Amino acid sequence: MINVRGVIVTVVDARRIYNLGSKEVDDDSRIVIIEVDDERSVGLMVDMVHEVKDIPESCVDMMAENREGRSAYIQGVAHYQDNVIVLVDADVMFASAL
């Protein structure tokens, strides 16, 4: 847990969610704060953050709920500034972790 502006926030290791091997925290490690809903925030420990982007909704293609072969964790794909960015569904990801 960490204190974020006076609020205690649970930190979840992304490697555990995805069943990856553990890794020591280093200078590249970051905690990304995700607002799960209006009352809860969760910290997600990740190996590294390359960049934070504000992506317009018009650039996002949402995945169909019933699409065959769809990963439960992928919410959609954004095509932004000559990049393809996979958007993770935080609700699904944290449902099993919390």
Domains contained in the chain, CATH given: 1-50 (2.40.50.180), 53-98 (no CATH)
Give CA–CA dist 46/44, Å, rounded: 6
Provide the pLDDT for residue 39.
81
N-terminal to C-terminal alpha carbon distance within the chain: 13
**Mind listing the pLDDT tens digit for each residue in 11-37?**
999 888 888 888 999 999 999 998 877
* Per-residue model confidence (pLDDT) at position 88: 84
* Closest to 34 in 3D by CA, of 21, 24, 20, 49: 49
Q: What is the pLDDT of residue 82?
A: 92
Q: What is the pLDDT of residues 35-62, one digit of tens each?
A: 877 888 889 999 999 888 889 999 999 8
| Residues 90-94, mean pLDDT to the nearest whole number | 76
Contacts of the segment 3-9: beta carbons below 8 A, 24+ positions apart: 4/33, 4/41, 4/43, 7/41, 9/33, 9/41, 9/42, 9/43
